[in-house]
Amino acid sequence: MKMTSILARFAGALALLTGLTACAKGPDKTPLEVELVQNLRQALQARRAARGEKPARPALTRAALDATVKGAFIEVTIEESDVFAYLSRQVSKHDDFPGTVEVWRSEDNVNLAMRDGVLVATRGMPNDLLAASALVHAGGPKGPSGNGERIYEIAALDNESYKLSLVCQVEDLGVKRIEIVELTYRTRHLRETCEGRGGQAESLAGSQERNRVVNDYWIDSRTGRIWQSRQWAGPELGYLRIRQLTSG
Amino acid sequence: MGLSVTTTRQYRARAVLTGLAMTAGLLQAAPVLAQSKPFAGQSNASAEEAPRYKRLPAPSLNFYGTSGLIDMPSAEMQPDGQWSTSFSWFAGQSRYNLTFQATPWLSASFRYNGIRDLSGTAFSTYYDRGFDVRARLWREGHWRPAVTIGLQDFAGTGVYASEYIVATKSFDTPALGSGRSPGRLKVTAGLGWGRLGTYGALGSLAGNRTGFTPGGTGGSLSTESWFRGDVAPFGGIEWEINDRWGLKAEYSSDAYLAESRDSGIFERRSPLNFGLEYQWTPGTRIGAYYLYGSELGITAQIQLNPKHPRVPMQVPALAPVLPRNQWATESAHWGQDWAQSSASKRQVRDLVAEALKSDGLTLEAITLSGTEVELRYRNNRYRSETLAAGRAARLIANVLPPSVETFRLVPVRRGIGLSTTVLRRSDLEALEFVPDAPDALAAVSTVTNAAPLAADAILSEELYPAFSTSVSPYSSQGYFDPDQPFRLDLGVDFAASYTPAPGWRIAGAIRQRLWGNIANGRASNSVLPHVRTDQAEYAQHGTTLNNLYVSRHWQPGRNTYARVTAGLLESMYGGISGEMLWKPAASPLALGVEGNYVRQRAFDQRFGFRDYQTFTGHASAYLELGKGYVAQVDAGRYLAGDYGATFSIDRTFKNGWSVGGFFTRTNVSAADFGEGSFDKGFRFRIPLDWMLGKPSRNSFGLTIRPTQRDGGQRVAVPGRLYGSVRAAHRLSLTEQRARFWE
């Protein structure tokens, strides 16, 4: 009896406290309690907002794209969750490694970096792909070629990163016609198959298990441009489907 | 001049606009056209086959909250860093346990337990606190079992005092049914002394020991009775049928003499116990048991691992660094004339301040020359100083004039520069997306001490003077009162601070209690000056001035940091406090001295004081031992006028988790000290960002003492130096290099 009355009073006090407008102004660090109340409020709002359905995938037409879009855009879909976004090209640059790095950015602040079309970094996602090597060659066609080692470095666990070393082979699956929003392209389908035994981390499962990553690229037979690809982006994101809507 | 301060802002604006235009266009797009199936012919490789993170399986816990069977321990260790909280209950006996896996082979536990109707005590429920420690002698091999040695309740009044050595071997069992994960069978056998040697004893190997006597002072190590007296075997099996269900059976060597024979709390009919457990989520497990042939029991456990955040951290991506040769295309853009004009420099400062602000960082001051910048910034958003430095560097790289090549980044806290990270802008441009980017950048940047503020630094216009206020709920707790184990006050805290110049701070907080029961706590029975035990007296007043002080932080030299604070320092003490810390940026060792002249505040916590005044001060040494372990020794004079030293060790994780313990020995005798014999306790901190998956510098922290007495107590001064200085020094910055590009 005593316990329940205490609990009731406790709950009442707690409701009163969270109901209070906890707030902070000025350049000092926001106190923990204020931040907690703010987060609680945001979570409630997000929950209310999430009651609406998942945004439907817009039906793209070439006419609409031509009329409204300036610059290069890609469509990226996370295969597992079917979450998608449109990313615009921000930068195209060269560094000391072969290939051209293009950085694509979504409106909600997610970046993907691709070296000659091969995904080498994600930014703004949980457990980002911090860096990766790519089997691309200076002056050659876009996309991967040949055989060799690829290293994926992934943010993980306690503010650390883990490096995965995989041995990759690229095979040519021949000519494929693909269609992207009413335009058809004649492409070569390249498949990069990478295998390795786990990572250095005990928590990267399967230091004993064999792991396999398979990336697909569809590369324009004439221009060497990558029109679409399906690439692995780390343990958190899994596979991404990427296709180029406009080339800018 | 305007033109020479070329920035990339127009470029960004265009990109955002096209993005918006595009979304609008897409939403009005025409009806669906029949499309050939995209990505036809893609490989069937799934994310399941790719490398992935998996939590290490955690062995189940026993009634004492350590790895084990039901009432008996096993030799298993939890995954490194595991933080387990558990509750168990049977026959009017409840145990609340906290276990921390401090290293892969060592774990420590704290337990608070209540036994109803225990004879020989004055309480209807007898509450006790105890510590356990377990060390694995060797891990499990192909044929060899794991072997662990354990001390249970080794420093309390000893109701559960026992020692054991135990071996466990596990075997794979086939899956039951298709689609089920395979099971695991674990066989455990051990020898117990003390409480675990009271049933079915084989005899005594060495010496005698006395049984548990309620009402002792406790607290000291009872080394003379460890592994003495009767020794008895125990054992059992655990079958994890699959990843959800587990069955347990054991033979217990605990006769429950005090509870069963002496107090008649329950009848112990059999040494056999049986249980069924269910893994509800990866972190929670529940169990039901039939114990000692007569009783039903339950357990519930929640396990956290600092390495596995509840939600992985997600930080919004910054715009990539745009190489200068793409936007500063004419040689005129690269001139250094702008650095001659103070108007242009102020213009640059405003651009930098705006860029930092967009990411929650605050410009403190900037020193500009034609080719070099020293950026002093305040980071109130990101716990990782490396992450903050990486973001500050990339933000300013996109706004500074092209001629600036060397970046010197100085994080500032309470007006003092903590360290300097030096890097080249060309490296930022070149390394952002190379393989090995984190290591590559760490290799070309250096961390040195911070210099004091330069004479020609341009200060932020917004920060000095600055006024901050906050209104927030607060709570304060009281623990382990025998009448009411947990006491709580809740209320509202109104805080304000005024910062007239870098390093200066005038701050205060008023608290209004809304609800609470700390005021009903026990009166102090301490024979020492009541420096900390008058908690209930201090809780009699609803409206209090929690603190009100003026402080100054500054850097007397390159490796030294100093602080002076005067006023009402905390709820119980006011006075003057000074501190000096020596900590080179690259050194794992830090040395400090602190002196305080304080007077005890009146119980109403306004401006009055009581008669008690004293000098308290310490010399401190801090040492980073690597792998996140930080050791600290403080020697000096404590609040009650006692002399002695405090030893502490904390394991800090890179994401802000920390768990540690401490004890203090002073010239106060165990009898004068009272219950517990000397001051000791443990503390932990769980970061808010770890729980929410988004940036924050706040955390939940708690220091728990089994008993709060007056010996070995220190004054709590706001703004102590070591913590914030260490976080921004070389070891901490380089350990977190993976976060630079996030």
Mean pLDDT across the stretch B613-635?
95
Residue B495 has pLDDT above 50, yes or no: yes
Residue B177 has pLDDT above 90, yes or no: no
Residue B14 has pLDDT above 60, yes or no: no
Task: Name the token pair of B508.
Answer: 């205060």
How long, in residues, is chain B?
742
Best residue in A40, A92, A106, A157 to probe B by mutation, most B CBs within 10 Å? Answer: A157
pLDDT at A11: 53
- From the CA of A7, how many Å to the nearest CA of chain B? 12
Split chain A (248 residues) into runs of 10 and give each run's mean pLDDT.
50 54 81 84 79 72 86 91 91 89 92 94 92 85 83 86 89 90 90 76 52 91 89 91 88
Q: If you measure CA to CA, which chain A residue comes closest to B13?
A: A90
Q: Are residues A40 and A69 in the same domain?
A: no
Q: Are residues A110 and A11 in the same domain?
A: no
Best residue in A89, A104, A157, A159 to probe B by mutation, most B CBs within 10 Å? Answer: A159
Distance CA A209, CA A219 (A): 32
Q: Are residues A69 and A44 in the same domain?
A: no
Task: Give yes or no for B701 touching A (CB within 8 A).
Answer: no
Mean pLDDT across the stretch B71-96?
94
Residue type, B305: N
pLDDT at B538: 92
Q: Are residues B190 and B121 in the same domain?
A: yes
Cβ-based neighbour number of residue B522 at 10 Å: 13
List B249's β-bridge partners, or say none: B237, B274
Task: Give yes or no for B31 touching A (CB within 8 A).
Answer: yes
- From the CA of A11, how many Å to the nearest CA of chain B? 11
pLDDT at A6: 54
- From the CA of B558, how many Å to the nearest CA of chain A? 26
Task: Give yes or no for B713 touching A (CB within 8 A).
Answer: no
Domain contains A55: no
Q: Are residues B482 and B381 in the same domain?
A: no
Q: Are residues B279 and B359 in the same domain?
A: no
Task: Give yes or no for B488 touching A (CB within 8 A).
Answer: yes
Domain contains A149: yes
Residue B542 has pLDDT above 50, yes or no: yes
Q: Are residues A44 and A66 in the same domain?
A: no
Give this complex's ipTM: 0.87
Q: B381-438: per-residue pLDDT in tens?
A: 999 999 999 999 999 999 999 999 999 999 999 989 999 999 999 999 999 999 989 9
Residue with tokens 């990336």: A215
Q: Is the dihedral of CA B248, B251, B255, B260 positive or negative?
A: positive
Considering only CB atoms, which chain B residues are within 8 Å of A156? 53
Task: Name the token pair of B214.
Answer: 């309620």
Residue type, B316: P
Q: Hey, which residues 280-309 in chain B have their CB within 8 Å of chain A?
A: 306-308
CB contact under 8 A, A204 and B53: yes
CB contact under 8 A, A88 and B32: no
Considering CB atoms only, which of B434, B488, B698 is closest to A97? B434
CB contact under 8 A, A235 and B30: no
Residue B509 has pLDDT above 90, yes or no: yes
Longest dimension (CA), chain B: 95
Task: Give yes or no for B654 touching A (CB within 8 A).
Answer: yes
pLDDT at B34: 36
Among B285, B304, B323, the domain-final residue is B304
CB-CB contact of B260 with B199 (8 Å) = no
Domain contains B367: yes
- From the CA of B736, how many Å to the nearest CA of chain A? 6
pLDDT at B21: 37
Lowest mean pLDDT among B46-55, B235-244, B409-418: B46-55
CB-CB contact of B348 with B374 (8 Å) = no
Best residue in B42, B181, B429 to probe A by mutation, most A CBs within 10 Å? Answer: B42
Mean pLDDT across the stretch B678-689?
92
Q: B465-486: per-residue pLDDT in tens?
A: 889 999 988 888 888 777 777 8
Q: Are residues B260 and B363 in the same domain?
A: no
Domain contains B481: yes
Among B304, B322, B342, the domain-final residue is B304
Domain contains B20: no
Q: Are residues B478 and B430 in the same domain?
A: no
- From the CA of A40, how many Å to the nearest CA of chain B? 10
CB contact under 8 A, B698 and A31: yes
| DSSP-assigned states of every residue in B129-166 | EEEEEEEEEE---SSSPEEEEEEES-SSS-TT-EEEEE
What CATH number does the domain containing B207 carry? 2.40.160.40
Residue B283 has pLDDT above 90, yes or no: no
Q: Are residues A18 and A110 in the same domain?
A: no
Residue B35 has pLDDT above 60, yes or no: no
Q: Are residues A8 and A128 in the same domain?
A: no
Among B435, B462, B489, the domain-final residue is B462
Considering only CB atoms, which chain A residues are within 8 Å of B23? 86, 107
What CATH number does the domain containing B585 carry? 2.40.160
Domain contains B15: no
Domain contains A110: yes
Best residue in B313, B472, B493 to probe A by mutation, most A CBs within 10 Å? Answer: B472
Q: If you measure CA to CA, which chain B residue comes closest to A26?
A: B468
pLDDT at B212: 61
Q: What is the 3-state secondary structure of B620-688?
A: EEEEEEECCEEEEEEEEECCCCCEEEEEEEEEECCCCCEEEEEEEEECCCHHHHCCCCCEEEEEEEEEH
Distance CA B687, CA B689 (A): 5
Band of residue B564 on the pLDDT scale cut at 50, 70, 90: very high
Q: Are residues B720 and B627 in the same domain?
A: yes
Task: Give yes or no for B499 touching A (CB within 8 A).
Answer: yes
Domain contains B266: yes
pLDDT at A14: 56
Q: State the Cα angle at B94 between B89 and B98, rounded to 5°.
A: 100
Q: Are residues B131 and B228 in the same domain?
A: yes
Q: Are residues B438 and B521 in the same domain?
A: no
What CATH number does the domain containing A187 carry? 2.40.360.10
Of chain B, the percentage scoring pLDDT greater than 90 comes to 62
Q: Are residues A178 and A66 in the same domain?
A: yes
CB-CB contact of B673 with B665 (8 Å) = no
**DSSP structural state of residue B574:** E
CB contact under 8 A, B36 and A91: no
Crossing angle of helices B342-357 and B385-397, in 10° steps, is 130
Q: B111-144: per-residue pLDDT in tens?
A: 998 888 877 777 778 888 889 999 999 999 989 9
Domain contains B738: no
CB contact under 8 A, B437 and A59: no
Residue B601 has pLDDT above 50, yes or no: yes
CB contact under 8 A, A205 and B52: yes
C-alpha to C-alpha distances, B45 to A40, A80, A212, A231, nearest whole angstrom: 40, 12, 8, 10
Q: Are residues A170 and A241 in the same domain?
A: yes
Q: Are residues B590 and B576 in the same domain?
A: yes
Task: Give yes or no for B34 touching A (CB within 8 A).
Answer: no
Domain contains A56: no
Task: Give yes or no for B514 touching A (CB within 8 A).
Answer: yes
Q: Are residues A20 and A142 in the same domain?
A: no
List A232's β-bridge partners, or say none: A239
Among A10, A25, A49, the domain-final residue is A49
CB contact under 8 A, A95 and B384: no
- From the CA of A64, how many Å to the nearest CA of chain B? 6
CB contact under 8 A, B380 and A132: no
Task: Give yes or no for B698 touching A (CB within 8 A).
Answer: yes
CB-CB contact of B477 with B511 (8 Å) = no
pLDDT at B398: 93
pLDDT at A63: 87
Q: Are residues A228 and A126 in the same domain?
A: yes
More confident residue, B616 or B212: B616
Cβ-based neighbour number of residue B607 at 10 Å: 11
Across chain B, mean pLDDT equals 88
Of chain B, the percentage scoring pLDDT greater than 70 comes to 93
Band of residue B264 on the pLDDT scale cut at 50, 70, 90: confident
- From the CA of B741, how many Å to the nearest CA of chain A? 7
The closest of A29, A32, A22 to B497, measured between CA atoms, is A29
pLDDT at B179: 65
Residue B574 has pLDDT above 50, yes or no: yes
More confident residue, B626 or A123: A123
CB contact under 8 A, B700 and A121: no
Domain count, chain B: 3
Task: Give yes or no for B693 touching A (CB within 8 A).
Answer: yes
Burial of residue B697 (CB within 10 Å: 0-12, 13-18, 19+) is: buried
Q: Are residues B140 and B267 in the same domain?
A: yes
Mean pLDDT across the stretch B328-355?
92
The answer to whether the peptide bond before residue B402 is cis (omega within 30 degrees of 0) is no
CB contact under 8 A, A110 and B490: no
CB contact under 8 A, A131 and B433: yes
Q: Are residues A166 and A134 in the same domain?
A: yes
More confident residue, B493 or B52: B493
Cβ-based neighbour number of residue B446 at 10 Å: 13
Considering only CB atoms, which chain B residues are within 8 Å of A191? 43
Residue B183 has pLDDT above 90, yes or no: no
User: What ranges make up the beta strands (E) of A82-225?
Assistant: 83-93, 101-106, 111-115, 118-123, 129-132, 147-156, 160-180, 183-196, 211-220
pLDDT at B368: 94
Q: Are residues B404 and B514 in the same domain?
A: no
Domain contains A216: yes
Considering only CB atoms, which chain A residues are within 8 Å of B328? none
Residue B726 has pLDDT above 80, yes or no: yes
Domain that holds residue B342: 314-462
Band of residue B13 on the pLDDT scale cut at 50, 70, 90: very low
Q: Are residues A35 and A89 in the same domain?
A: no
Considering CB atoms only, which of B42, B463, B738 is closest to A159? B738
Q: Are residues B486 and B452 in the same domain?
A: no
Mean pLDDT across the stretch B221-239?
87
The closest of B707, B735, B717, B724 to B387, measured between CA atoms, is B735
CB-CB contact of A154 with A143 (8 Å) = no
Number of inter-chain CB pairs under 8 A, A vs B: 312
Task: Give yes or no for B274 touching A (CB within 8 A).
Answer: no
CB-CB contact of A181 with A146 (8 Å) = no
Task: Give yes or no for B434 touching A (CB within 8 A).
Answer: yes
Distance CA A130, CA A238 (A): 15
Best residue in B46, B470, B475, B741 to probe A by mutation, most A CBs within 10 Å? Answer: B470
pLDDT at B132: 93
The closest of B125, B82, B85, B86 to B101, measured between CA atoms, is B82
DSSP 3-state assignment of A232? Answer: strand
Lowest mean pLDDT among B260-264, B491-495, B569-573: B260-264
Domain contains A87: yes
pLDDT at B410: 96
Q: If you measure CA to CA, which chain A residue comes closest to B53?
A: A204
Domain that holds residue A44: 2-49
Considering only CB atoms, which chain B residues are within 8 Å of A158? 306-307, 653-655
Domain contains A54: no
Helices and strands per DSSP (H, E), number in chain A: 3, 13
Residue B27 has pLDDT above 50, yes or no: no
Q: If you measure CA to CA, which chain B residue comes closest to A229?
A: B39
CB contact under 8 A, B52 and A239: no
Name residues whose C-beta falls within 8 Å of residue B325's C-beta, 6 or more positions apart in sequence. Answer: none
Domain count, chain A: 2
